Amino acid sequence: MTNHIALYEPLMPANTGNIARTCAGTNTKLHLIRPLGFSTDDAHMKRAGLDYWDKVDITYHDDLDDFLNSIPDDKYLYLITKFSNKVYSDQDFTDTSADHYFLFGKETTGLPEDFMRQNPEKCLRIPMSDNIRALNLSNSVALVIYEAVRQQKFAGLELSHHYQHDKLD
C-alpha cells in the first residue's frame, strides 16, 4: 500500500516544495498534473523542498485524464474540496491492500467543478470557518496525509527519534 498526493495544476512553487518535503517525510508519492504555474527548477520550489528532492518519488501527468488513467482502481481516490459534506477525518483510510490517492486542486480555483459534481462520493472536506476561501494548499495536504498515516498506524515511519550520542531508554 502506498499513499499518493496529486496536485492539479499547482501555481505556487513554495507550496509544491513544501508538499514535496511532506511527501518525503511520509513516504508518499507525489503526482504533478500539468500545466504547472512554475518551472520545476524554480529556485523557490527547490528552496522549499530543501535537500529532500532525491527522497521524493514524483510523477508528472499531462492533464487530469492522464493522471486518472494512471490509477489502477479509483475506489480509493479522494477529492479534497470545500464543496463536500463529508469530513476528511471521518473517512476510513485503513485498507492497506490498496493505494490511496488524494487529489488537491490549484490554489486559486480548486478542482474542476464538473469533475467534482460527477464524483460527489469521492469528495472530502477539511472543516473551516467561512472567514476564508480556503486553507493554504501545503497545510491542507499535511492535514490529510497525516490523518491517513495516523489511521494506518504510521506504517513505515519512525515513531521516535534519538540523538546520535545520547540514546534515551
Annotation: binding site: 80, 105, 126
- Number of helices and strands (H, E) in the chain? 5, 6
Which residues line the annotated binding site for S-adenosyl-L-methionine? 80, 105, 126
Distances (CA, A) of 85 to 36, 49, 106, 124: 29, 33, 20, 7
Cell numbers linked to 113: 467543478
**Are the C-beta atoms of residues 140 and 126 closer than 8 Å to each other?**
yes
C-alpha cell belonging to residue 33: 498534473
Q: CA 81 to CA 92: how far, in whole Å? A: 17
Taking every pair of Cα atoms in the chain, the longest distance, rounded to a whole number of angstroms, is 56
